[in-house]
Amino acid sequence: MIVTVTMNPAIDKTVEIGRLIPGGLNRIKKAESDAGGKGINVSKTIRELGGVSIATGFLGGSTGKAIEDFLDEKKIRHDFVLVEGETRTNTKIVEENGAVTELNEPGPQIREDEMDRLMEKLISYAKPETLVILSGSIPKGVDKQIYARIIHLMHEKGAEVLLDADGELFRNGLLERPDMVKPNRVELEEYAGIDHRASNDELLALARELRENGIKKVVVSMGKSGAIFLQDDYEAISPALSVKAYSTVGAGDAMVAALACAWDQKLTAKETIRLCMAASAGAVTTTGTKPPEKKVVEELMQQVVIKKAEN
């Protein structure tokens, strides 16, 4: 069983313009909306890849109802805690050159009793052969130790955890040794206090430190430079695939979804890499936060190159 947790979901509104003019008039060429939030994006891709997940977290108001309706339409199982306040709407401005500007609302204030209800749900799902995915930001009223608390509770029940977060949420969560992590280059640089663009060798060394601290699988996504994969004693770097990129939004979530599907299907390390790289590349060819189509992912898997990590 795969459970995705989205504490701060959103309706993702993507607008296309020629070039962003700060302080000036910007005419929108195209606009579309989609149910989003990192965990929900993961569930969408898992569904497209033929897998099954349960999406949970917090939803509120008419925006939350719209997200539930979307998940029902896509036949994605969900079990959210309904809260007071309105689920946020995030706006992503996509320019012709591929640059993306994101305007993210803060989301509703979460009460203690609402947090307790979510924890009860997660505990009810947690058991051996369950993977809980913690990804994205948290809303107001939730403390920065929450992911660490959830990891601890899930491990007590025998479940595994995949952590995809940044900043303090990532740092605190690592103390509880999640089973898998997928930081991107910037997130890992921030965690390590690096004030320059880290080289692949530096990122590999940092990934090794995470693995040595008890994390079974470490994946570092590096955008156009590809990704680093560490699983047990297997270490590899896979270059990014050459595709016609539309937007990088959702590429990381697609990779997390592929990691979860690989875990569920008990794929080998090399099979995992092929699926992750193909899903991530497929995601950048889609509009908004739409998941990559399964047939596109299967075609791209044949193009994935895997190199032994050395330094």
Residues annotated as catalytic (active site), given as ranges: 253
For residue 216, give Cα distances in angstroms to 146, 160, 269: 21, 10, 12
Buried b (16+ CB within 10 A) or exposed e, 52-76: ebbbbbbbbeebbebbbebbeeeeb
Quote the longest CA-to-CA distance of the chain.
Answer: 55
How many other β-carbons are positioned within 10 Å of the β-carbon of residue 307?
Answer: 11
For residue 130, give Cα distances in angstroms to 4, 77, 104, 157, 288: 11, 15, 31, 10, 30
Token duo for residue 232? 């047990």
Pairing of strands 180-181, 160-164: parallel
Rounded-to-integer distance, Cα 234 and Cα 112, Å? 42
The dihedral of CA 114, 115, 117, 121: what is its sign? positive
Contact (Cβ atoms closer than 8 angstroms) between residue 39 and residue 6: yes
Rounded-to-integer distance, Cα 167 and Cα 191, Å? 7
Rounded-to-integer distance, Cα 58 and Cα 64, Å? 8
